[in-house]
Amino acid sequence: MRRHVPRKRFGQNFLVDRAVVARIVDAIDPQAGEHLVEIGPGLGALTHPLLDRLPSLDAVEIDRDLAAELRTRFGPERLRLHVADALTFDFCVLGAQLRVVGNLPYNISSPLLFHLAQCSECLRDCHFMLQREVVERMAASPGGKAYGRLSVMLQYRFEVEQLLRVAPGSFRPAPAVESALVRLTPRAPLTWPARSASVFAALVGKAFTQRRKTLRNALRDTVSAAQFAHAQIDPGLRPETLSVEQFVRLADVVTPPDSPHSADT
């Protein structure tokens, strides 16, 4: 492949360390018969070793120039390319039990993770390279500074596991931060199913918009004193101290009785 100049608008930092690539592929452990989907194959650093173990895979690539190079390099019978923005791509059209992998652009990592969470029923697992700080937020426990909206919303849908750290020098161009590989495994069924996923999401978002405030003040217009009592949640606590299960309990008490049950949406 001819030398490609990384494009800032796509957040391109290409993985070039073969030893790191080998560790990532070993962590994924792809097996024949599994349906893998790669987000942002880029220069093919992960694509090639994955196809050494699989007859074919799907890939979503926004850069048309890179997509054209990849088509020539691998052929359509092995690499089914979808030239699209992963932020809007409907992964469920590819089937069920998808294993999604990728070195994700750090500038869109959070919205992309939220988008994938909406497709969790189609996923078997995900393995992503992300900024280490983001992975720590994803896996954080209640009570810590890293724990926030991203932690709660992803842990509602997934088991989150940090697998390995990767130094900036493993990429071209080298990012200014350390990276990490994370594994997301959908909770099926959900461990704490909310009566309304939309009410739950809205409440979590509002709580962490003003995370330094107590729940009483942050949710003043959403949760009454009686509802806090019914959910057995102390309104004097701050949002970062509540577990996912407690947020679900609080969301359930403010969900209208006639609201359609949407825990799995």
| 151 three-state secondary structure | helix
In terms of residue numbers, what domain contains 225?
Answer: 197-254
Q: Is residue 213 part of a domain?
A: yes
Same domain, yes or no, for 35 and 127? yes
Q: For residue 259, which phi and psi values (nearest 5 degrees)?
A: -70, 135
Residue 260 belongs to some domain of the structure: no
| Tally of structural domains, the chain | 2
Rounded distance between C-alpha atoms, residue 23 and residue 42, angstroms: 18
HSE-CB of 199 using CA atoms within 13 angstroms: 23
Q: Are 1 and 15 in contact (CB under 8 A)?
A: no
Residues 57 and 175 in one domain: yes
CA–CA separation, 241 vs 151, rounded Å?
Answer: 12
Does the structure show a pLDDT above 70 at 137? Answer: yes
Within its chain, how far is the Cα of 25 from the centroid? 18
Q: What is the pTM of this model?
A: 0.90
Length of the chain: 265
Least trusted range by pLDDT, from 11-25, 31-45, 140-154: 11-25
Residue 15, both tokens: 């993985």
* Confidence at residue 261, expressed as pLDDT on a 0 to 100 scale: 59
Same domain, residue pair 128 and 175: yes
Q: At 248, which helix (H) or strand (E)?
A: helix 244-254
Assess whether 150 and 204 both reside in one domain: no
pLDDT tens readout for residues 18-29:
999 999 999 999
- In this structure, the answer to whether residues 127 and 177 fall within a common structural domain is yes
